Amino acid sequence: MIDWQQIDTVLLDMDGTLLDLHFDNFFWLQHVPKHYAALHKLSMEEAQRKLMDRFTRERGSLNWYCVDYWSEQLQLDISALKLEISHMIAIRPHVTDFLSRLANQKQQLILVTNAHRKSLNIKLACTGIQNWFDDIVVSHDFRAAKEELSFWKQLHTSHPFDRERTLLIDDTEMVLESAQNFGIAHLLTLLQPDSQQAKRSAGKFRGIHHFDEIMPENGNQARNQKTDD
């Protein structure tokens, strides 16, 4: 599916791509509503309904991904609530082997995420995936979500790459569409971002279930981590 000889830069999403989206779905659909219901003396069902209406209005925007925005809007300490269930943060199958093989090759490897830095720091502390990457790019630093063309323009300025020789793997179709509009040639999605939900049917973009389906051939012993040596 991927001719790795034609790829110079690999852009990887985090949530739903490298990490199991079950943590995020449980957090926003169960954990936050539970605390919101207790704060406002609502039933769980009423809290979920009220929050879903608000979430839907912000989905795809930078606010949707902003820990500070939701902490202020909901009067809840979102970072603290994430830490309460941080044991649920999990790396998807075959990810570490995939990253290890890429690290043993010559491609530039960049994590591109919509996650707010407070959320990102929690997940990096739990998983250590930052050790594989040449750099980490956070959409909040560009004031534009990955769903916006502005994100890709700024990314290209800060980290020049050949669009024809770049691969983006992301679980969100709107993000892939935006990257496609910018001209990134190689696009791939995940068919089961949340391990507790059913596998999605193929959509507009080619999809994989797990990274073993596109594992780079590598006869050398893969490095465990990128180092500064």
- Tell me if 100 is assigned to some domain: yes
Dist CA 54 CA 195 (whole Å): 25
* Number of independent structural domains in the chain: 2
- Tell me if 221 is assigned to some domain: no
φ, ψ dihedrals at 165, nearest 5°? -120, 30
Dist CA 85 CA 126 (whole Å): 11
Same-domain pairing of 205 and 109 = yes
What are the strands, taking DSSP E only, across the chain? 9-12, 108-113, 135-138, 166-169, 186-190, 207-208
- Tell me if 223 is assigned to some domain: no
- Tell me if 228 is assigned to some domain: no
Same-domain pairing of 120 and 11 = yes
pTM of this structure: 0.92
Same-domain pairing of 189 and 118 = yes
Dist CA 198 CA 206 (whole Å): 17
Dist CA 80 CA 95 (whole Å): 27
Same-domain pairing of 133 and 203 = yes
Domain finish residue from 64, 87, 110: 87
pLDDT of residue 218: 63
Same-domain pairing of 169 and 104 = yes
Dist CA 127 CA 149 (whole Å): 30
Name the residue range of residue 66's domain. Answer: 23-87
pLDDT of residue 226: 41
- Tell me if 224 is assigned to some domain: no
Same-domain pairing of 28 and 111 = no
Q: pLDDT truncated to tens, each residue of the chain (229 aa)?
A: 799 999 999 999 999 999 999 999 999 999 999 999 999 999 999 999 999 999 999 988 899 999 999 999 999 999 999 999 999 999 999 999 999 999 888 899 999 999 999 999 999 999 999 999 999 999 999 999 999 999 999 999 999 999 999 999 999 999 999 999 999 999 999 999 999 999 988 789 999 999 999 999 863 333 334 434 3
The helix/strand/coil state of 170 is coil
Tell me how crowded residue 180 is: count the other CB atoms within 10 A of its CB: 15
Domain finish residue from 87, 104, 136: 87
